[in-house]
Amino acid sequence: MTPYDQGVSAGEPPAALPGARLLFSLDPGVSYLNHGSFGAVPVGVQRAQQRLRDEVDANPMAFYAGEGLMDRVVHTRRHLASFLGADPDGSALVANTTTGVSLVLNSVRLESADEVLLTDHGYGSVFFAARRQCRRAGATARTVALPLGASSAEVVSRVRAALRPGKTKLLIVDQIASATAACLPVREIVAAAHEHDIPVLVDAAHVPGHIPVDVAAIGADFWVGNLHKWAFAPRGTALLSVAPPWRRRMEPLVVSWEQEQGYPLAVEYQGTIDYTPWLAAPAGLFTLRTLGWEAVRAHNAALAAYGQRVLGEALGVTDLPHPGHPEVAMRIVPLPSGLATTAPEAYALRTLIAEKLAAETQVNAWGGRGLLRLSAQVYNRAEEYDRLAERLPQLLHESKRQ
C-alpha cells in the first residue's frame, strides 16, 4: 500500500467519459458527490430490475414457487463471485455488508472470555453489531487505533500488537474505510492474524467495482462487499465469501425452507424477499465493462483527487490524506477545528450543505475532528467540485458562528 500520508498530486481534472452522464437518472439540479454512500443505479440496470419486478407480479406463484428461482440465484452468484475472485460455492448473496457482518458474528459463537477486535476506522453499524453480539455472550469488543496517515507497515504492526492469542476470537478490518477512505493492507493483516490462528472478517463494503480485488488471494476467513455502491447493482446486493473451514458453521439469521441445504442456500433463500436486485446485478457489471472498467477507475480516482485538492485549497488545508491506493475514488478533506466533531453535528452539517449548496457529500466525525468525504463517479464533473469549493468556506464560517 502506498503510504496513506503521502499527500495528493492532482492537476487538471480528467476528461469526461463520452455519454456516461446520460446513463443515470440523477437530479441535474444537485451535485451528487457522494456515490460512496448509496451508489447510483444506471438507467439500464433500473430497467432490467423493473422487467424482473414485472415478471414477479405477472405470476408470483411461478416466480417464487417454481423450480427455477434458486437456480437463477446460484447462476447470478457465480457470475458475481467470479468478478470478485471469490469461490462461488463458498459465497452467498446477502442484502448488504452489515447483514454479512451480522451473519458472521452470529456464527462465530462467542463465549464469555472472548473478544472481538476492530479498528477505529470501522463502520458505525459494524461496531454496534459487534457490541451487541459481545453483550449477549458476555464477551468484549475492543478497538485498536490506527492514525490517519499511517503506513502499511505501521498499520500491520499496530494490529499485530493489539491481537491477544487465545482471547481474540475475531478480527474485523475494513478494506476501504467509510469514514476515512483509508485503503488498509488487508492481505498482510490477515496473514498476521493467522499467525495466531485468529480468524479475520474483511469489511469490503466499498470494494466491488471500485478497485480490483482477488478475494481468494486475500485469504480472509470472511469477506463481504456491496455491489450496489461501485458495481452499479441495484441496492440490496452484496456478496459474503466464507473460507472452507467455516462454511458448515454459518447459520442464517432467519430459518427458511432451504435450511437443510446448509450454506450458502440456507442464507440466500428467505421466502418472499425481493430477489430482483440480485438477479439484475449482472446488468451493472455489463454497464461497467461497456464503459471500460479500467477507464472508469482512472477517471474516478483522478477526479476525486482533483476535488480533494480544490476543496483543500479553498479551506486552507495543506495536509490532505491519500487513501493509500491509486484507484480509490473517495477522498477526505479535514474540516476546520470545532466543526462536525460529533455524529449529530456531522449529520447536521451534511444536511446543511445539501440544503444550502445543492451538493450531496458525506461528513463524518472521526477522532474528534470532522471529515468531509467526496466521491467521484463517471457522472460527475470538475465544475461541481469547483462550485462547492467556491461556496463552502462561507457556509462553514456562518455555521461556526451560530
| Collapsed DSSP state (helix, strand, coil) of residue 365 | strand
Task: Give CA separation, 83 vs 183, 189, 239, 284, 301, in Å.
Answer: 20, 23, 11, 12, 20
* Stated pTM of the model: 0.95
CA distances 165 to 19, 38, 106, 199, Å, are 53, 37, 21, 11
Determine whether 218 is exposed, middle or buried from the number of CB atoms within 10 Å of its CB (0-12, 13-18, 19+). Answer: buried
Strand partners for 116:
141, 170
Domains of the chain plus CATH, in order, are: 44-286 (3.40.640.10), 292-401 (3.90.1150.170)
Q: Are the CB atoms for 193 and 3 separated by under 8 Å?
A: no
CA dist., res. 97 & res. 210, Å (int): 15
Three-state SS for 104?
A: helix
- The 10 Å Cβ neighbour count of residue 73 is 19
Cβ(167)–Cβ(111) under 8 Å?
no
- Per the CB < 8 A criterion, the answer to whether 366 and 339 are in contact is no
Q: At 388, which amino acid appears?
A: L
DSSP characters over 203-266: E-TT-TTTS---HHHH--SEEEEESSSSS-PPSS-EEEEE-GGGGGG---SS--TTGGG-TTHH
Q: Which tens digits make up the pLDDT trace of 257-279?
A: 889 999 999 999 999 999 999 99
d(CA 375, CA 357): 16
Q: How high is the pLDDT of residue 8?
A: 40
Tens of pLDDT along the chain (402 residues) come to 333 334 344 578 999 999 999 999 999 999 999 999 999 999 999 999 999 999 999 999 999 998 899 999 999 999 999 999 999 999 999 999 999 999 999 999 999 999 999 999 999 999 999 999 999 999 999 999 999 989 999 999 999 999 999 999 999 999 999 999 999 999 999 999 999 999 999 999 999 999 999 999 999 999 999 999 999 999 999 999 999 999 999 999 899 988 999 999 999 999 999 999 999 999 999 999 999 999 999 999 999 999 999 999 999 998 899 999 999 999 999 999 999 999 999 999 999 999 999 999 999 999 999 999 999 999 999 999 999 999 999 999 988 766
- H or E segment and range at residue 284: helix 276-291
Consecutive H or E run containing 115: strand 115-119
Q: Which residues of 377-398 are buried (b: 16+ CB within 10 A; e: fewer)?
A: bbbbebebbbbbbebbeeebee
